[in-house]
Amino acid sequence: MEMSTSQPPAPPMVTAQALRFGQPGRLLWDGASHAWPAGLCLVCGGEGSGKTSLLKALAGQLPLQGGRLGYPHATQRPSLFWRDPRAGLESAESTRLVHDWVQAQRQLYPAWSELLWQTHAEGLGLAPHLHKPLLALSTGSLRKLWMAAGWASGAALVLIDEPLAALDRASIGHVQHALAGLGWAGQQAAPVAGHGPRCVIVAHWDAMQGIAWDDVLELPQQGPLR
């Protein structure tokens, strides 16, 4: 008898039920619902469509005006990695050395993978910056640091906003390759010790050529999502 080689379906990781939120005077979601599975998920939309605001809502940084977020795969809110690349550094961390900041992440995330950190730090060219203070890093280098740490963190929910912005060509190639491996098929083919299912939600203006997304949510350019 032949054994089935089909992969188990990706479990649902985050659900938005009748969500309502937005900026003052502009509603972005008006009672809309969506479910994000484990794997690699895309939130796609143009400038002003609410991509970043959605990530902030999922991270708990933007208050909901209605509805709720659920986590079907967990008994409580799963571990989260999120850094807003547009937000300034907090004064307490701006003078912190990159090496020390990374060490703090190792302690913060029990499922941290040193192998993944070294792989992505090398692939993104972060080695020359490890002994610099965070405030000395360019916008692009900070984005690379946030992403490398997020992928290594082992967090069940990783939120990434416009990952290719302000990056050099070599880093863009590494990011695209890394994202492709975070899909559900990639998680099944190359599981990482200590990591359960992971949901990586990426906000970007297009689908990024060559990446197979497990889920795509298109945000309307005009009017709230209903």
**Residue 3's pLDDT is what?**
44
**Residue 2's pLDDT is what?**
45
Q: Number of C-alpha atoms within 13 angstroms, CB side, residue 113?
A: 18
Q: What are 192's two structure tokens?
A: 């990482």
CB 142 within 8 A of CB 134: yes
**Residue 16's pLDDT is what?**
97
**Residue 4's pLDDT is what?**
45
Alpha-helix runs per DSSP H in the chain? 51-58, 91-94, 98-108, 114-123, 139-153, 169-181, 184-189
Count of helix runs (H) and strand runs (E) in the chain: 7, 8
In whole angstroms, give the CA distance from residue 186 to residue 184.
5
**Residue 192's pLDDT is what?**
77
**Residue 137's pLDDT is what?**
96
Q: What are 97's two structure tokens?
A: 């050395």
**Residue 167's pLDDT is what?**
94
pLDDT tens, per residue, the chain with 226 residues:
344 456 788 999 999 999 999 888 889 999 999 999 999 999 999 988 999 999 999 999 999 999 999 999 877 789 999 999 999 998 889 999 999 999 999 999 999 999 999 999 999 999 999 999 999 999 999 999 999 999 999 999 999 999 999 999 999 999 999 999 999 998 988 777 677 899 999 999 999 988 999 999 999 988 899 9
Q: What is the C-alpha R_g of the chain?
A: 18
Q: What is the 3-state secondary structure (H, E, C) of 158-218?
A: EEEECCCCCCCHHHHHHHHHHHHHCCHHHHHHCCCCCCCCCEEEEEECCCCCCCCCCEEEE
